[in-house]
Amino acid sequence: MATPRAVTKAISEPYPLTADEIRAFRADGYIHLAKVFTNDVLEYYEPIISRVTQQYDPAASIPLEDKDLYGKAFIQLCNLWRHDAKVKELVFCKRLARLATELIGASSIRLYHDQSLYKEPSGGITPWHVDQQYWPMDSGKNVTAWIPLQSTPVEMGPLCFGRGSHLKHIARDVEISNESERMIAQTIKKEGIIEIQKPYAFGDVSFHSGWTLHRAGGNATKQMRKAHTIIYMDGEMRLKTSRNLNQENDRVSWCGDTADGSVIDGPLTPLLYRNR
C-alpha cells in the first residue's frame, strides 16, 4: 500500500531553522525542536517501526527482570531501514537530513545508521555517556536525531543533556555502564555543567552531537517509551583507526571495506542530502 501523500509531503518539505537555532545547537551540543513531524507522520510510521523492532530484535521477548543493565535501559534494533521499505522512507527523508546538514554546517550529509530504542515500563536508566566513543570517525561533525514516537513526559525517560559538554573532553573513552553514570555525574557537578531534561510533545525531535553527554531516566509509566534515532555524519567523514573494541565493532558493522583515512562511503552509509 502506498504511503499517504500527506505523509510523503510532510517528510520531504524543509523545516524552517533559524540562524539563532543553529548557533544554539553548536554552543549547547543539542537542540530540541517543536513539531518537526505532524501527528499523521508519527501515527503512520510508529506501528511499522514497532512491528519491525518486535520482529527482528530477539531481546524484545526477554522478560525485563532477566536483562542486564544495558538490556534494562532499552530494547534496541539497528538498521531498521534495511528490514522495511516504509522505515527507509523516514530514515532517508529530506526533512531530517536537511536539518542535520544545516546544524553541523556540512555541504552534504550521510547516514551512519538508524535504530529503535524502546524503554519498557519500569525500564531502567540509560547511564550518562557520549555516543562518539563508539564511532570510528575522524571529526565531530555528526548528529543524532532522537524521535520519540509518542508524547514523552519526564517520568517516561526522555533524553537529558549536559549543556555545552561537547566542548569539554569528558568521558571520551568511557563506554556506557554503571561506572559511566557515576563518574560522569560527578564530573558534571564538578564542572558546573547544566543538565537539561524536558518533556517532548508529540512531533518534537531533538538533535545532539556525538560528544554531547546525555542520559535518560527510567520509565516510571505503564506505557512503552518508543523512540527512533537516526545518526548522521558529514558526507565527507573519513574513517579513523579504531581506538577501542567498540569502534572496531562499528567499523566492521557499518564501514565495510573502507580503508583508514578514506571517506566512509559504502552501501550502508549512503548520502542523504546535499546542499545545492
Residue 5 lies in a domain: no
pLDDT of 75: 86
Q: How far is CA 119 from the centre of its chain?
A: 14
Q: What is the DSSP string of 123-174?
A: ---EEEE-GGGG--BSSS-EEEEEEESS-B-GGG--EEEETTGGGS--STT-
Q: How far is CA 146 from CA 5, 78, 216, 265, in A?
A: 24, 14, 12, 24
Residue 43 lies in a domain: yes
Residue 152 lies in a domain: yes
Q: What is the DSSP string of 166-221?
A: GGS--STT--SSHHHHHHHHHHHHHHTPPEEE--B-TT-EEEE-TT--EEE----S
Residue 10 lies in a domain: no
Which residue range(s) make up the domain with 80? 22-274
In 3D space, the residue among 152, 158, 159, 160 whose CA is nearest the CA of residue 223 turns out to be 152
Residue 122 lies in a domain: yes
Contacts of 118 (CB under 8 A, 6+ apart): 50, 53, 60, 74, 75, 76, 224, 225, 226, 227
Number of domains composing the chain: 1
Q: Which amino acid is present at 139?
A: S
Residue 57 lies in a domain: yes
- The pTM assigned to this predicted structure is 0.94
pLDDT of 63: 67
Please give the average pLDDT of every successive group of 10 residues along the chain, which has 276 residues.
95 97 98 98 98 82 59 80 98 98 98 96 94 96 98 98 97 90 96 98 98 97 97 98 94 94 97 92
CA distance 142 to 150: 25
Residue 1 lies in a domain: no
User: Are 164 and 143 in contact, with CB atoms under 8 Å apart?
Assistant: no
pLDDT of 73: 58
pLDDT of 38: 97
CATH number of the domain residue 51 falls in:
2.60.120.620
pLDDT of 189: 96
Cell numbers placing 21: 537555532
Residue 17 lies in a domain: no
Q: Which amino acid is present at 146?
A: W
